[in-house]
Structure 1
Amino acid sequence: MIRRCAALPGLFLLMATLLNAGCQSPRESLQALAAGHGQRVELIHTRDYPLLYSAVRVPAAPTLLRVYLEGDGHAWATPSQPSLDPSPRRLMVAQLALDDPQPSIYLARPCQFITAPACKPAMWTGRRFSAEVLDSLGQALDQLKRRYGNQTFELVGYSGGGALALLLAARREDVVQVQTLAGNLSPQEWARLLQLTPLDGSLEPLQYRERLARIAQRHLMAEADRQVPAAVAAYYRRQLGVVRCAEFVSLPGVTHEQGWAQTWRHWRGRPLECVVAQD
């Protein structure tokens, strides 16, 4: 639905412009952001949920396609009331994807920017990391692979998108690297640490620790993050044990939502400094 704002007299033209921008729906804002980068937003139909993604132009089939997974978005309207629309109000993850010089896709999560009959509050609260969500994202990756002809994926997950990146990597053979930004690497430990209601119906990445120990991964943690404290990544690291290739980076002066544009420009093209497992 397009929200309309009343026109103001000519003397307030600038104010009207600002108000009109503020009245854009989250989907309109995403479309405008993509258009500003010469791209467009398209729809992927999966079994239960339509998903929005940024349609990048690539000259030839890339060997590796980087896919950015959105965070939890606007999951809660108040501490006790789920939101009616989980679409992110800040488009930081989309901006990172659109600014990336290598072939990259921004992929929204189920029920973000677009609704479907299966969209119920449980899908962005307790079941935000459920099998249904993973199935939908996995079907989207399959379709992207057919469209772009890439052989493998790198998944970049922000906040709760970090848990989904790990879970997808554990389920697929074509994910060769995972990077997370302020990633929720263990939703169970996150809920326990912050004394939140357990996420009933959600999966836990550490259930697949043996598989994940073989996945190349880098986790960028914000020292000033209060929403996903660095202690969550520290717990994940301890529980994961000896891994084939992993890097954990603590970032001073970065918060959950601030400082990522500059930070990611520094890290996005850097190879991992691997910790190699000993046989």
Structure 2
Amino acid sequence: MALCISALLGGCQTPLQALQEQASRHQQRLEVIHTPHFPLMVALPSSAPVSSRIRVYLEGDGHAWATSRQPSLDPSPHDLMMARLAFSDPVPSVYLARPCQFVSARACTPVMWTDRRFSPEVLSSLDQALDQIKARLGNQAFELVGYSGGAALALLLASQREDVAQVQTLAGNLSPRQWVALQQLSPLTGSLDPLDRRQRLTQIVQRHFVGSDDRIVPPQLLARYRDALGTARCLQAVVVPGARHGSGLEQAWRRWRDQPITCQP
């Protein structure tokens, strides 16, 4: 109640209400995609775009933790940066939320947005969502854009699909295993790691944006990822001066998003 009273001037919205408002403002339609494991919230263009490639903005971990030790009861993101970027992108784009964000199901328990946030069933749900988006919009290829933990899932999806043209990430958790080691956290039991598919990832065209002042996913993680990946012909890193995990990346993204990714001969 106190939080709502203090937020009256800005409106006391739930994350879903805020997403609905943004989608309506930008003529996007919200739908729920059903998969065997989880229903997933997606925002699609009002009319099917005429394009062979669709850019999919994959949400981050959202509000996974209420405190440093207590998982939240609802992982829906409070900051809708990825939705804003998707809705304002001039190229055909889709916003795809993570399991249990904005829409719940019986399988939605806190372990699914904490330790098992990168689990096989989470990956399978997103993979099937891409299949359904492709069937709906008629595109031939995807570009995946992952924020924070969404970056790991974007890389995992790219490693197993043949229709992902490139991956871009913002403040990306590129390797959960390296990340927990760097931050001295407990291992994410039940989660997958992109670096276990490094041979395939070396062939993926990818660009990673990281904030120089990001303490949640610090720039050192990108360095560890590159070292562990080894030779990658088409990997570009952009360090954004002064940017943090949830701020300072949007302007850099808009400046760089459509520039070709540099590949070595």
TM range (shorter): over 0.9
Q: Given the alignment of the two structures, is residue 65 of structure 1 paired with residue 61 of structure 2, yes or no? A: no
- CA distance 1:223–1:113, change in 2 (3 Å): same
Q: Which moved more, 1:246-255 or 1:210-219?
A: 246-255
Letter of the structure 2 residue corresponding to residue 92 of structure 1: M
Q: Given the alignment of the two structures, is residue 188 of structure 1 paired with residue 177 of structure 2, yes or no? A: yes
> 1 CA distance for matches of 2:72 and 2:246?
19
Structure 2 residue runs without a partner (length 5+): none
Q: Given the alignment of the two structures, is residue 174 of structure 1 paired with residue 171 of structure 2, yes or no? A: no
Percentage of pairs with the same residue: 58
Structure 2 counterparts to residues 122-271 of structure 1, below 5 A: 122-271=111-260
- 8 Å contact 1:58–1:103 — kept in the other structure? no
> 1 CA distance for matches of 2:47 and 2:142?
15
Structure 2 counterparts to residues 4-153 of structure 1, below 5 A: 19=8, 22-58=11-47, 60-153=49-142
- Deviation track 1:29-52 (CA, whole Å, cap 9, x = no partner) reads 100011111212111111121111
Corresponding residue pairs, total: 264
Q: Which moved more, 1:88-97 or 1:40-49?
A: 40-49
How far the C-alpha of 1:25 sits from its partner, in A, is 1.2
Secondary structure, counterpart of 2:186 in structure 1: coil
Q: Which moved more, 1:194-203 or 1:55-64?
A: 55-64
How far the C-alpha of 1:60 sits from its partner, in A, is 4.4
Secondary structure, counterpart of 1:51 in structure 2: strand
How far the C-alpha of 1:58 sits from its partner, in A, is 4.8
Secondary structure, counterpart of 2:145 in structure 1: strand
- Deviation track 1:148-193 (CA, whole Å, cap 9, x = no partner) reads 0000100000010100000000111111100000100011111011
Secondary structure, counterpart of 2:63 in structure 1: coil
TM-score (norm 2): 0.95
> 1 CA distance for matches of 2:51 and 2:118?
29
TM-score (norm 1): 0.91
Letter of the structure 2 residue corresponding to residue 174 of structure 1: D
> 2 CA distance for matches of 1:21 and 1:256?
23
Counterpart residue number, 1:10: none
How far the C-alpha of 1:83 sits from its partner, in A, is 0.5
> 2 CA distance for matches of 1:261 and 1:254?
10
> 2 CA distance for matches of 1:27 and 1:268?
27
> 2 CA distance for matches of 1:145 and 1:63?
10
Secondary structure, counterpart of 2:66 in structure 1: strand
How far the C-alpha of 1:262 sits from its partner, in A, is 1.0
Secondary structure, counterpart of 1:29 in structure 2: helix
Letter of the structure 2 residue corresponding to residue 264 of structure 1: W
Secondary structure, counterpart of 1:52 in structure 2: strand
How far the C-alpha of 1:248 sits from its partner, in A, is 1.1
Letter of the structure 2 residue corresponding to residue 37 of structure 1: H
> 2 CA distance for matches of 1:77 and 1:94?
22
- 8 Å contact 1:247–1:275 — kept in the other structure? no
- 8 Å contact 1:182–1:228 — kept in the other structure? yes
How far the C-alpha of 1:57 sits from its partner, in A, is 3.6
> 2 CA distance for matches of 1:74 and 1:196?
18
- 8 Å contact 2:240–2:249 — kept in the other structure? no
Secondary structure, counterpart of 1:82 in structure 2: coil
How far the C-alpha of 1:120 sits from its partner, in A, is 0.7
